[in-house]
Amino acid sequence: MKETSFSQAAPGFLGRLILVLAVFGLSLPGHLFAAEEIYFGTVERVVDGDTIAFLTQDFERVRVRLYGIDAPEKNQSGGPESSQALKALIEGKSAEVRVLDVDRYNRLVGLIYLNGQSVNLALVADGHAWVYKRHCRSKEICREMTQAESIAKDEGRGLWAEPNPVPPWDHRRRAR
């Protein structure tokens, strides 16, 4: 079941713009909508520490990038552990996805909830992901995740057990 918090009939200029774009097979980037879409379904598989394959209740398969976090890459220290932690937490389970954006790879970007608890926050709190400050823009959500990251770091959880963990964005830049 898909619920949206915005009207299907966009009035005025935006409505006309959407109509024109639709005629030409184009669309607006997801981040232009303040709306939040909510999907219910099953996590089919974990792609990596911050991306899942999700099957909605309407049997639509989508990729979802977890909002506001960045997990170590598969070939990076902590990467396999991050993926495994996410698998243990949600793979094969019913979940809720609150979509906040669509990224440049056409993945939904959202908050994942399992039994009302934020999976995004849990990964950061357990030390399996960084808060991705470059893309984390929701003040309340990002503040909560940043506090959890600080505690995980202080307690040496997960990737913070290493003396100098390398953030994924630095790892990707070095690999280029």
The catalytic residues are: 65, 73, 107
Q: How far separated are the first and last CA of the chain, in Å rounded?
A: 41
Burial class (CB in 10 A: 0-12, 13-18, 19+), 169: middle
The span from the CA of 167 to the CA of 33, in Å, is 30
Burial class (CB in 10 A: 0-12, 13-18, 19+), 168: buried
